[in-house]
Amino acid sequence: MQVDQSSRMPLIDALKAACCLLIVTHHLSIYGPMSDIAYPLIPVLIDWLREHGRLAVQIFFVIAGYLSAAKLAPQGLSQITHPFRLIQKRYLRLITPYLVALTLAIGCAALARMWMNHASIPAAPNVFQMLAHILLLHDLLNQEVLSAGIWYVAVDFQLYALMVLALWISHQIQTHHPSVQKVSLIFILSLTIISLFFFNRDSYWNETALYFFGSYGLGVLIYWTSVSPYRLLWVLMLIILIVLALAIDFRSRIAVAGSVMMILGMAKYFNVLESRYVPAFLSYLGRASYSIFLIHFPISLVVNAAFFRFLPHQPALHLIGLLVAIGASIGSGILLFKWFEVRPVTNRTRILLLSAFIVSGLSIMLGNL
């Protein structure tokens, strides 16, 4: 859900907007009572969203890899000399709207518990759980998430850090051994192959970057392919790689990632990534997709609870409720984007946001003792 380069790539903005809406509706279909009550009116759509909506995340991973390659090593050659500065910058960029959304999630969950009793409502947080969320280690430390889907933020950070470190090591090798060529390509291709053929086939690793690097790496590799003089040869090799991975173990998530890889490659080749017209509102939604993704669950949770508590349990009313939740999520996400992604954020503001998150969590925790 990066925004660094996609502001100059309207087609990527459109893809991000569509995927963001898919994830919002996927979560609405599985969390909260409204989708169950509205189910008789749109059973096919809700079943499809429950089963396939989560695959949109794979599209985000491919796009993230593509944009990282464009920013960090646009010609496939790494010039990274201070990797930890880049990783720190990425962390701060991710964590700022994330803390706002989690603070809201704690409050919204407390409000929802007053109005309904439902399994989708996160429990009151504890101190260790909050610390794990601050460090983006919640899944690795087996902590219950405070908001649906935020595992993605932790994995996105891991993928970026792994990419930066791989490129930095490549740069060190090429600096000290100038005769060694294509080290960055070898590293990323190797990580992609290992992920596709080993880590991504074992759910034990599904909370780590190694599990998802297959999709991320395909995005990196298709970008580098687009600037290579041997473009057609590399495209053929990537297609063979995907076909082999699916032949050994068919996974719809990898099929989706491979398809998106080809779409990006073709769009780059025909020069439609930058020049293709996309409606302004769709492009804007794409740029705000990270904030919408972060905030949609707490907003949807409150809408679910309000409709369940105060309105009759009629399918038509709760179908309207689903639409209200989508609209409120988009509107809230745009505000979060404007206030905490577009505007410069000082360290003082980040400290205040961190303090607000901790205080809200402790208040709810102590209130439940």
- pLDDT block averages, 10 residues each, the chain of length 369: 56 93 97 96 97 95 96 88 95 97 97 94 95 96 94 97 96 85 92 97 95 97 92 94 97 96 91 78 93 97 97 96 98 96 93 96 87
Provide the CA 61 distance to its chain's centre, in angstroms.
Answer: 7
pLDDT value of position 7: 47
pLDDT value of position 275: 66
pLDDT value of position 229: 87
Q: 3-state DSSP: the chain helix, strand, coil percent, rounded to 5?
A: 75, 0, 25
Residues 143, 361 contacting (CB under 8 angstroms): no
C-alpha to C-alpha distances, 277 to 9, 145, 261, 282, 362, nearest whole angstrom: 10, 38, 20, 11, 48
pLDDT value of position 276: 66
Report helix angle 289-310 to 315-337, nearest 10. Answer: 150
* d(C-alpha 208, C-alpha 361), whole Å: 26
Q: Is the dihedral of CA 107, 109, 110, 116 positive or negative?
A: positive
- If you search the block for the tokens 């891991």, which residue do you land on? 158
**CB atoms inside a 10 Å sphere around CB 71:** 13
pLDDT value of position 271: 83
pLDDT value of position 9: 83
* d(C-alpha 170, C-alpha 55), whole Å: 32
- Angle at Cα 203 formed by Cα 164 and Cα 132, nearest 5°? 60
Q: What is the CA radius of gyration of the chain?
A: 21
96: tokens are 């700022």
* CB burial readout 195-205, b (16+ within 10 A) else e: bbeebbbeeeb
pLDDT value of position 1: 58
* d(C-alpha 18, C-alpha 343), whole Å: 24
178: tokens are 């100038």
* d(C-alpha 193, C-alpha 105), whole Å: 37
pLDDT value of position 6: 43
pLDDT value of position 326: 98
**CB atoms inside a 10 Å sphere around CB 352:** 12
Closest CA to 216 of 56, 66, 13: 66
